[in-house]
Structure 1
Amino acid sequence: MRTAACVSTGENDTVDIGRQLGALSAAGDVFLLSGELGAGKTCFIRGIARGLGVAEYAFSPSFVLVREYRGRLALFHMDFYRLERLGEIADLGIEEYLDGDGVCAIEWAERATGLLPGRHLHIELAYVPGAEENRTVQLTAEGARYESLLQELV
């Protein structure tokens, strides 16, 4: 396990960090995002989409659970905020996305503990007290692929 952290000074900065990660992404990558409401998870994934060359990124899939975008690789953006039981997540057929040839970026991933792969990059976004626009971005790599990805990123 390897970790790195940085401070985002605003939405554009958060998107740019995500863009850099998206540019380095490979088929099969899994990014698990956590953080409070409004912490910047969707902004970060918007950046991943840009880094993957996605021309039209819409918004968080809160009401449809999964949105698919096409760029250099497929981006599967999932949002588990509204799901209450693991069974609901399993019913989505999540394995097909995780084992597919795209990149999975999952908001509120902590709601699916036990269903998600052990090898992933966890991205935690948190408010910085006293600095309304700033966020800490902590990246934790689980597995050799993600350790090397994190090394390239920082």
Structure 2
Amino acid sequence: MPGPITLHLPDLAATGRLAARLAPRLRPGDAVLLEGPLGAGKSAFARALLRALAGDPGLEVPSPSFTLVQSYELPGGWEAHHYDLYRLSGPAEVAELGWEEARDGLVIVEWPERLGGLRPEGALVVRLAYGAGEEERVAVLSGWDGRMGEVG
């Protein structure tokens, strides 16, 4: 079984390119879990991923920090749901946000540790961390064995 893939992303554009390379591999029922500290690029990654999925580089993708979830219609008739769980205390509050219904589409989750027992098996986990330079990030991709292909 392949292990995690570590990628060095020199700038925000590289983070966006990674998201764009992953987008065509996503399908309804998938979960993308974005881990990492504040400011590591989780929202930027989610924004780039949603724009790539929608085929619209100008798509308005506000952070769901206050709304907690934003939903998007995607080409092909399916939906993506972008969750930011930072302000939640745990899984009971996640369930109130339409989690079960959202799982029919794609869920992109910032702060997935708040999911507790709702954390989906087989999810793609993208852990972002600060790199050496101001804009550099290190992404570690795990889970999703056999579906990542060549993303580096």
Pairwise CA RMSD of aligned residues?
Answer: 1.6
Unaligned runs of 5+ in 1: none
Unaligned runs of 5+ in 2: none
Task: State the 1:54 CA deviation.
Answer: 4.8
More helix by share: 1
Deviations 1:94-141 (A, max 9, x none): 11111x1x211000001112112121111100001x411100000011
Name the TM-score, length of structure 2 as normaliser: 0.88
Kindly tell me the number of residue pairs found equivalent between the two proteins. 147
Name the TM-score, length of structure 1 as normaliser: 0.87
TM alignment of 1:2-151, pairs within 5 A: 2-55=3-56, 56-72=59-75, 73-98=78-103, 100=104, 102-128=105-131, 130-141=132-143, 146-151=144-149
Q: Does the C-alpha gap of structure 1 residues 150 and 125 become closer, same or farther in structure 2, counting only changes over 3 Å? A: same
| Conserved? CA contact 1:22–1:50, under 8 Å | no
| Conserved? CA contact 1:54–1:69, under 8 Å | no
